[in-house]
Amino acid sequence: MLANYIPAPAYLSPGDTAWQLTAATLVGLMSVPGLAVLYGGLVKKKWAVNSALMVFYAFSIVLIVWVLWGYNMGFGQPLKLGAGILSQIVGVPRPALLSSALEGQAVVPLLAGSMPGLHMPMSSLVYFQFVFAAITPVLLAGSVLGRMNFKAWMIFVPIWSTLVYSVNAFMLWGGGWLAQLGVVDFSGGYVIHVAAGISGFVAAAVVGPRLKRDQNSFNPNNLLAVVTGAGLLWLGWNGFNGGDPYFANMDASAAVLNTNVAAATALVAWLIMDMMAYNKASLLGTVNGMIAGLVAITPAAGYVNGVGALLIGLAAGVIPWLTMNKLGKVGIFKKVDDTLGVVHTHYFAGAVGGLMTGLLADPHVMEYMGKTGFSVTGLFYGNPKQFFLQCLGLAAITVYDGLMTWGILKVIALVVPLRSSEADLTHGDIRIHGEMVYEEPISIGLMGGSDITENDA
C-alpha cells in the first residue's frame, strides 16, 4: 500500500480543496439545471426550450472564454493601460490551461499580501471562479427572455463576459482600483448581481419588448419546475457564499448560516407584503423574496453577524418588493420590458446588500484569522468611510456595466438583429429550434405560415 502512495504537495489541504470543489459544483448546479429549469417553468410554454437553451449555451461558452483569457483578465497580473487607475482596471488576457494552472498552488497575484496562502491547486480556483462568471450572464438573460434573437445572444455572451464581467472581477476581487480603495464585495453582490441587474435592464431596453399579447399573458407553464429551480438556487447558494473565504474555515460556516437566515427572512417578508397588498399568498412572490434575500446577503455574508443577516433579509424582502410593485409601474421601469424583473430582484437587492455591508459589517466577524486576519468595519461599528466606499463601488459598477452593455449591443446590431422576427416571436420554440416542451396535435409551417393559435403557444 505504501509503495503506491502518491504524496500531496506540502501546501495542499484536502479539506480546503474538497470544500472548494464542492462549493463550485453547488454554484454550477444553480445554473445547470437550476436556472434552466426555473426559466423554463416561469415562461410561457412556447419559450421553455429557448429559455433553457440560453442558459446551457451561456454556461458553456463562458467556460471556454474563461480558461482562454477571462480568468487572467479577472485575477491575473494587471494590464498596464496607462498610469493610475488605468493600470488597475483589468488583468492581462492569457490562457489558464497550462500545467501551472492545473496543478500549481492557487494564488491571486495582487491579493497575495492581504490573504493567507491558498491551500488548493490553481485549477480549483479557476473552476470556482468560472461558475460565478457563468451564472452572471445567465441571470442577465432573465431580462430578455421571450424575444432576443438567439444568434445575437450567442455573440453577446462571450463579449459581455470579456469586457464587463472580467473587468468587474478584477476591479473588486483581483486587486483592482475599487479593491485598493477598500470597497468590499464578499461573494458577488456587485460583481454578479448588480452587474446582471443593470446590464439586463439596459439589454431589455435596447432589444425592445415582447409581443404585446405576450406581455399581457405570460403565465408560468410549470410551477413545479419553478419550485425545483428555486430550491436548487437556495441550497446551491451555500456554495456561492460558503466557498468565498477559499478555506473550509469558521467564516465559511458563518456565511452559510447568514445566507439561509437572510433568504428565509426575505421570503417571509415578501410573502407578508403580498398578503397585505393583494390578500393572497403567492408562490411566485415567495420565490422572488427568496432570491432577493439570497442576492442581498451575498456581498455581506462573511462580514456581518446573524443580526445583520436578519436585517439584510428584512430589507431585501421589503425594498425590492416596493420597487417591483410600486416603482415598476411608473416611468422608465414601466416602459422597459424586463421579463422576469431582474432589475428588482438582482440590481436593487444587490445594491441593498452592498450598501448595508457598509453599515452592518462587524469587525469581530473574521474572514481570515491570525497574522493575516481580515475583517470589515461598517458605519454602525464606527467606520462611516466604509458606507461611502460601498456607494462608490455601486456607482462605478452601475455606470460602467450599463454603458458597456449598451455599446456591445449596438455593435452586435450591426451584424445580426437583436430581436427575433415577428414569426419567431409568434411561434417561439418550434420555429426557432424545431423543438418544443409540450407536443401539440397541430400542424406548424416552420418556414412560413402556420395554423398554430395563440392559446396553443
| 446 pLDDT above the threshold of 60 | no
In which element (H, E) is residue 269 found? helix 250-278
Give residue-wise pLDDT tens across range 352-367: 999 999 999 999 998 8
CA distances from 248 to 20, 114, 256 (A): 8, 18, 11
The tens digit of pLDDT for each residue in 134-187 reads 999 999 999 999 999 999 999 999 999 999 999 999 999 999 999 999 999 999
pLDDT digits 0-9 by tens, 246-304: 999 999 999 999 999 999 999 999 999 999 999 999 999 999 999 999 999 999 999 99
Q: What is the pTM of this model?
A: 0.93
Cα-Cα-Cα-Cα dihedral of 439, 445, 449, 452, to 10°?
A: -10
Contacts of 400 (CB under 8 A, 6+ apart): 164, 167, 168
Mean pLDDT of the chain: 92
How far is the C-alpha of 6 from the C-alpha of 4, rounded, in Å?
Answer: 6
* Cα 228 versus chain centre, distance: 18
End-to-end CA distance of the chain: 63
Rounded to a whole number of angstroms, the CA Rg of the chain reads 22
CATH architecture, domain 17-420: Orthogonal Bundle (1.10)
Considering Cα of 215, then 232, then 294, then 138, what sign does the dihedral take? Answer: negative
